[in-house]
């Protein structure tokens, strides 16, 4: 995918042409100008779903990205302002899985051993490793999007908005902690949301078993239960039946079993019914479970639950209970209950007080109580049936296995690591989607879905059956859940901002005074950081500090921390004496020392400043052998947090130098390095010129509250930093954070507001809550687009959060694209190499051809596309190459008068020629067709008129107008040229959203002075007059020509051979006017078109009689064709008149001489000379050998 790795000479002409256009866009800021140009229609809101930053762009990305580009380009040309901001999805299991593989980690235990901080920092570094490739490929595909001012879901500002959203939902009562059975990925060690689970279902083989449960009060009698999850049997706590079902006691192979009467077929053996009764009789009966791990002791304390009712001992276990959901559609009518591993099982257990035992750990292995299988994985990825087989062996050995069967069923696998999921009861935090369901359904009906059935059926049905959304994940790399518990009080707080975090943060009560030393000899002259040069305070510097001491005399300073250098020691000494502090209260700390200037010590300030090309270099450059600003920031940050931990209730004076204090001040204000550069500006400047840089002797008190930070002491809300901050409640009691992180879908679903750090800033851009005197801004989106898989992903999370927070749908129109598959219909695979590299396609056929191929395919309305390279090639040849030929022909015959006759948008308006009027009407029809398709967001429909128009322009209009371009009638020639120019400019605008490169190329070749500099800054063309009769008449004309050409082919007569007449059936073609008849005569090469009353309706008859005169005309036409080919081979232009030498037999000479005037005029010859030619181009024309040359 590395574009730079491709040799320029291997790229096609069209690819190099596109790269030149891209350079033009970049150099002239065309995209930015398109965002800033006048927008009379206002703001058109588009949300760009963030892709995962890790991984390279593939055809799926290119398809979705091209859809996302076409609609905004169209809307921009229509007069809307369309902001297009790129984003990156940075968190979640996909990234964690990738990092685990790179680090060789397999379990959560491995991650904890490695360390959460290094693990997450590795994840952070991995996020943008492929960003440079994206930043080349995306623009190279022609997409206009701001990738510099991008947003990242891992940014602190983004996370704060996610916190705000969570707090809002919590305030509305839409968030709760629940104990539910959810799908657990044992490898990832976390539960998944229901829509994540639906991403990973596939058919798989499993073992089902029929198990005998001995009744305690009926010896040798067994309840027969069926289960497809044998691994859950050690956790059996009850059996369920339906009281209204009829059960039987049956004798089978010397065994007595009880099952539903309607399920006797499950026995598959001969049986004798001993007794029939209703299920009511079984309720309350006790039985012996197949495994005795929990029967020998009270299981109190071994349960995992919230409901206090379940805090009972095992006297509620191993009994028969009624459950309405027990059916006789399959199984035996007796259901095995393992409460921790089934939703209905848990519900019954909570209702009846049945103990809930987790005999399987969250790592997916049998726990230590299951002594026969302890440590064994219950559903290993490589051998998913292994544990079940061992359970079956155990049952068989203990004579508890009635039978086993192989089943094939749909089973969920982790959507990221492909591990079989487990149903697992655990605590999680939920969004109460069920309470929003009716509103979600009604809002969905307001959305324009393409295709419609995705919204109504796939998505609509999903909403109808919506369940509460589990949004917490027991993972590491993600936005932390902002919930802190008071374990003692059993209460919790939900925080919605960094300010709220600050409010609850435990504070030392310290006050901090930051003071830069007084003026020293070096200040303004040289740099000095090692006391190798005599550099004391000057007389003015001493006076300055004494004055500062007097201004601070009302304060009680407890401690002074000071840099070890002379000038700071002298400053601290003055302050020490002023406050009467003992020497023990003055502490030298190396972390407050001056910026180490390395081998520049003693050099002038100018020499020092000259090291840095930009101010940003000061944060990274260490070529002088000393420190950069980032290193200084780290040591002063370490100092600051260190003394905050060690001391409380103290007034602390810190005496240091300009740069360390300036950086410390930024830390205290939570300003990141990037924000410092944004504030200070990246241009070259001295640090003393930066805002807030302390002057010599300057003293400031700055409040400081600890905050979660990374190694460079930047505000960072990720784990483990967020958990390193101590929080207390209003009573001063400790608060401990719930260790989970957010489901990454909650984060991506927050992008409409989180990308703008709403509600903390940017309300001028995003404010969904309009008022009496203001409209909402930035919400909802007019348009979004993603793949079909996002119906239960991003589309869903956007809708849930948007409706929950703002009461209405977050998007009005959606285009859902299908998958791009390989030629054989299989999924594209890097391993199989069953698809061409996208950059190879772009370099060979151009991005426009690929774009149009994708946009005109069924993939733009949710269907899958089998990718054929020849399809892209066909677009190139049928559209771009044809259009290039039209442009070349126009440019071949245009002259200065053409350029100055008319403005680019008005040429051809006065032409009365039927071809000009027709192609202009077709151009209006083109505008109408494309506009209608785009308005309905049906991109394949919008592309069809472009294809058809180029075909009409090339194969009919230009073909029939060639002689007009060459002719002597200057008025008609200019009409044809100006009309061609006009429709080409219209076409350049209409095709701009789909093929932006060629549209730009075409427009720039045709634009006049005063036109916009780019087609993408121009206005969408208005639909003009549609002369339907003209269109109908021309279509009829072309139909006649087509029928006539079929007759010629049938008779084996070439079109170059003139014929006398073409007869048309009067009933069908009586309306043919003179202009269209002339077109038919020219195209059919006949002398006359006759409407014949004797021909049947729609009939066409060709007079194929060849007179000598007609034969000779045909010979002349063939001769002219050979001359034209020779002119082409010699690269002659229409302005080149040349002499033709002919060596031919007498008969051919006679024919040529008879038509010499026509030949010289048509072939642009000054004269024809008949002579013997030693060298020339030889050919045979109608049996005559001839040799010609141009001189």
Task: Report the binding-site residues.
Answer: 830
The residue behind tokens 């209204």 is 244
Burial readout 1132-1153 (b: 16 or more C-beta within 10 A, e: otherwise): eeeeeebebbbbbeeebbebbe
Query: Is 1141 within 8 Å of 1171 (Cβ atoms)?
Result: yes
Question: How far apart are the C-alpha atoms of 985 and 1053, rounded to whole Å?
Answer: 39
The catalytic residue among 226, 469, 745, 918 is 745
The catalytic residue among 11, 17, 25, 50 is 50
DSSP 715: B
DSSP 454: I
DSSP 49: P
Question: How far apart are the C-alpha atoms of 874 and 845, rounded to whole Å?
Answer: 10
The residue behind tokens 């939570």 is 670
Query: Is 259 within 8 Å of 248 (Cβ atoms)?
Result: yes
The catalytic residue among 163, 794, 918, 1020 is 794
Query: Is 781 within 8 Å of 798 (Cβ atoms)?
Result: no
3-class DSSP state for residue 986? helix
Q: Residues marked as binding for ATP? A: 830
- Residue 874's alpha-carbon distances to 66, 70, 478, 859, 882, in angstroms, are 19, 21, 46, 18, 11
The catalytic residue among 202, 406, 490, 830 is 830
3-class DSSP state for residue 563? coil
Q: How many other C-beta atoms lie within 10 A of the C-beta of residue 1055? A: 15
Tokens at residue 898, please? Answer: 């053409």
The catalytic residue among 351, 826, 827, 1161 is 827
What proportions of the chain, in percent to the nearest 5, are helix, strand and coil? 45, 20, 35
| Bridge pairing between strands 448-450 and 813-817 | parallel
Tokens at residue 765, please? Answer: 């851009």
Residues in the chain: 1191
Question: How far apart are the C-alpha atoms of 71 and 935, rounded to whole Å?
Answer: 9
Report CA dihedral (919, 925, 928, 932) to the nearest 10 degrees. -130
Query: Is 1021 within 8 Å of 989 (Cβ atoms)?
Result: yes
What are the residues facing 214 on neighbouring strands?
Answer: 222
The residue behind tokens 């126009």 is 890
- Residue 737's alpha-carbon distances to 11, 483, 491, 728, 831, in angstroms, are 56, 6, 12, 11, 43
Query: Is 1190 within 8 Å of 1139 (Cβ atoms)?
Result: yes
Tokens at residue 440, please? Answer: 């979600």
The residue behind tokens 């079902």 is 245
Q: Active site includes 790?
A: yes
Q: How many other C-beta atoms lie within 10 A of the C-beta of residue 6? A: 15
Q: Active site includes 827?
A: yes
Task: Name the nearest CA neighbour of 1005 among 992, 996, 1014, 995.
Answer: 1014
Phi-psi region of 103 (alpha: psi -120 to 50; beta: other; left: phi over 0): alpha
3-class DSSP state for residue 1043? helix
Instruction: Write a three-state SS string for 930-943.
Output: HHHHHHCCCHHHHH
- Residue 112's alpha-carbon distances to 394, 716, 717, 723, in angstroms, are 35, 20, 19, 15
Q: Active site includes 1146?
A: no
Tokens at residue 549, please? Answer: 């001491």
The catalytic residue among 17, 350, 569, 790 is 790
| Bridge pairing between strands 651-656 and 559-562 | parallel
CA 561 to chain centre: 51
Q: Active site includes 1057?
A: no
Q: Active site includes 1027?
A: no
CA atoms within 13 A on the CB side of 276: 7
Phi, psi of 860, deg, nearest 5: -80, 0
Query: Is 93 within 8 Å of 188 (Cβ atoms)?
Result: yes
Positions annotated as catalytic residues are 50, 89, 745, 790, 794, 827, 830
């Amino acid at each position: 995918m590395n574009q730079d790795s491709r040799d320029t000479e291997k790229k096609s002409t069209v690819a190099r042409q596109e790269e030149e256009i891209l350079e033009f866009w970049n150099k002239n800021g065309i995209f930015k100008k398109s965002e800033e140009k006048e927008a009379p229609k206002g703001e058109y809101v588009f949300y760009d779903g963030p892709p995962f930053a890790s991984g390279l762009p593939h055809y799926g990305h290119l398809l979705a990205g091209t859809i996302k580009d076409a609609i905004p380009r169209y809307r921009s040309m229509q007069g809307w302002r369309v902001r297009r901001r790129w984003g990156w999805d940075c968190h979640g299991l996909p990234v964690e899985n990738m990092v685990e593989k790179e680090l060789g980690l397999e379990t959560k235990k491995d991650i904890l051993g490695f360390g959460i901080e290094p693990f997450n920092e590795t994840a952070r570094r991995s996020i943008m490793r492929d960003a440079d490739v994206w930043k080349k490929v995306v623009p190279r595909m022609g997409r206009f999007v701001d990738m510099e001012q991008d947003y990242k879901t891992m940014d602190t500002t983004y996370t704060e908005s996610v916190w705000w959203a969570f707090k809002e939902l919590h305030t509305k009562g839409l968030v709760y902690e629940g104990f539910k059975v959810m799908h657990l990925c044992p490898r990832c060690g976390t539960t998944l949301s229901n829509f994540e689970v639906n991403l990973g279902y596939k058919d798989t083989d499993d073992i089902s078993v029929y198990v005998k449960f001995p009744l305690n009060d009926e010896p040798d009698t067994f309840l027969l239960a069926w289960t497809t999850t044998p691994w859950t049997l050690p956790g059996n706590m009850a059996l369920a039946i339906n009281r209204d079902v009829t059960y039987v006691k049956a004798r089978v192979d010397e065994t007595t079993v009880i099952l539903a009467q309607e399920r006797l077929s499950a026995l598959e053996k001969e049986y004798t019914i001993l007794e029939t009764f209703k299920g009511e009789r079984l309720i309350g009966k006790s039985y012996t479970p197949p495994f005795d791990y929990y029967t020998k002791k009270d299981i109190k304390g071994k349960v995992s639950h919230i409901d206090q009712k379940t805090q009972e001992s095992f006297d509620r276990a191993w009994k028969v209970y009624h459950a309405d959901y027990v059916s006789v559609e399959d199984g035996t009518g007796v259901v095995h209950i393992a409460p921790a591993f089934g939703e209905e099982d848990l519900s019954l257990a909570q209702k009846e007080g049945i103990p809930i035992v987790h005999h399987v750990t969250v790592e997916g292995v049998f726990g230590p109580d299951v002594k026969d299988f302890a440590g064994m994985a219950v559903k290993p990825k490589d051998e998913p049936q292994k544990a079940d087989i061992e359970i079956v062996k155990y049952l068989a050995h203990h004579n508890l296995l009635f039978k086993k069967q192989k089943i094939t069923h749909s089973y969920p696998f982790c959507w990221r690591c492909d591990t079989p999921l487990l149903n697992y009861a655990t605590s999680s935090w939920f969004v109460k989607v069920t309470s929003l369901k009716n509103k979600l359904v009604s809002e969905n009906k307001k959305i324009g879905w393409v295709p419609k059935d995705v919204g109504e059926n796939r998505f609509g049905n999903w909403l109808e059956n919506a369940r509460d959304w589990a949004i917490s994940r027991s993972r590491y790399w993600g936005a932390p859940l902002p919930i802190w518990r008071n374990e003692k009080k059993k209460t919790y707080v939900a925080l919605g901002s960094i300010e709220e975090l600050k409010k609850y943060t435990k504070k030392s009560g310290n006050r901090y005074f930051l003071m830069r030393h007084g003026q020293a000899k070096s200040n303004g002259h040289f740099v000095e950081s090692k006391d190798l040069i005599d550099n004391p305070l000057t007389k003015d510097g001493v006076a300055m500090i004494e004055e500062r001491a007097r201004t601070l005399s009302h304060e009680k300073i407890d401690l002074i921390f000071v840099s070890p250098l002379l000038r700071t020691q002298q400053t601290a000494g003055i302050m020490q004496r002023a406050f009467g502090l003992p020497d023990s209260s003055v502490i030298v700390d190396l972390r407050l020392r001056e910026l180490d200037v390395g081998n520049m010590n003693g050099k002038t300030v100018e020499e020092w400043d000259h090291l840095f090309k930009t101010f940003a270099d000061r944060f990274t450059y260490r070529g002088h052998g000393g420190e950069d600003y980032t290193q200084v920031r780290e040591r002063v940050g370490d100092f600051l947090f260190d003394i905050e931990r060690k001391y409380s209730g103290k007034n602390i004076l810190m005496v240091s130098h300009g740069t360390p204090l300036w950086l410390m001040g930024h830390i205290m204000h939570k300003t990141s390095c990037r924000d410092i550069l944004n504030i200070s500006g990246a241009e070259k400047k001295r640090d003393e010129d930066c805002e807030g840089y302390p002057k010599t002797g300057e003293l400031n008190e700055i409040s400081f509250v600890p905050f979660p930070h990374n190694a460079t002491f930047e505000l960072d809300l990720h784990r483990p930093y967020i958990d390193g901050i101590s929080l207390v409640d209003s009573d001063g009691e400790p608060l401990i954070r719930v260790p989970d992180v957010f489901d990454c879908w909650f984060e991506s679903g927050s992008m409409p507001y989180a990308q703008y750090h709403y509600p903390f800033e940017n309300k001028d851009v995003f404010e969904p809550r309009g008022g009496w005197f203001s409209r909402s801004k930035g919400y909802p989106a007019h348009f979004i687009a993603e793949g079909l898989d996002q119906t239960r992903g991003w589309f869903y999370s956007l809708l849930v959060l948007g409706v929950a927070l703002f009461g209405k749908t977050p998007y009005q129109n959606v285009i859902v694209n299908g998958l791009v598959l390989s030629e054989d219909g299989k999924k594209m695979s890097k391993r199989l190499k069953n698809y061409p590299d996208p950059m190879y396609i772009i370099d060979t056929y151009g991005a426009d051809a690929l774009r149009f191929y994708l946009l005109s395919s069924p993939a733009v309305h949710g269907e899958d596309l089998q990718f054929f390279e020849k399809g892209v090639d066909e677009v190139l040849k049928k559209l771009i190459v044809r259009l290039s030929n039209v442009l070349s022909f126009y440019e071949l015959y245009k002259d200065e008068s053409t350029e100055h006759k008319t403005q680019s948008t008005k040429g051809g308006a006065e032409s009365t020629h039927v071809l000009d009027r027709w192609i202009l009407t077709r151009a209006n029809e083109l505008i109408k067709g494309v506009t209608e398709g785009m308005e309905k967001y049906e991109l394949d429909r919008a592309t069809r008129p472009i294809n058809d128009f180029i075909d009409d322009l090339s194969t009919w209009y230009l073909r029939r107008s060639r002689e007009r371009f060459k002719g002597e009638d200057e008025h008609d020639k200019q009409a044809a040229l100006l009309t061609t120019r006009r429709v080409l400019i219209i076409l350049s605008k209409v095709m701009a959203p789909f093929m932006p490169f060629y549209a730009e190329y075409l427009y720039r070749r045709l634009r006049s002075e005063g036109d916009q500099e780019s087609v993408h800054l121009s206005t969408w063309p208005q639909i003009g007059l549609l002369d339907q009769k003209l269109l109908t008449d021309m279509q009829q004309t072309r139909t006649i020509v087509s029928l006539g050409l079929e007759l010629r082919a049938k008779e084996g007569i070439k079109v170059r051979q003139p014929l006398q007449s073409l007869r048309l059936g009067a009933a069908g073609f009586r309306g043919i006017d003179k202009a269209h008849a002339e077109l038919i005569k020219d195209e059919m090469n006949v002398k006359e078109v006759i409407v014949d009353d004797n021909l049947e309706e729609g009939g066409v008859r060709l007079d194929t009689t060849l007179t000598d005169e007609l034969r000779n005309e045909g010979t002349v036409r063939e001769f002219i064709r050979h001359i034209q080919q020779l002119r082409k081979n010699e690269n002659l232009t229409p302005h080149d008149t040349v002499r033709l030498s002919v060596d031919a037999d007498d008969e051919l000479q006679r024919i040529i001489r008879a038509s010499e005037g026509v030949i010289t005029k048509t072939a642009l010859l000054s004269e024809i000379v008949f002579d013997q030619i030693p060298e020339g181009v030889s050919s045979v024309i109608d049996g005559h050998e001839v040799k010609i040359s141009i001189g």
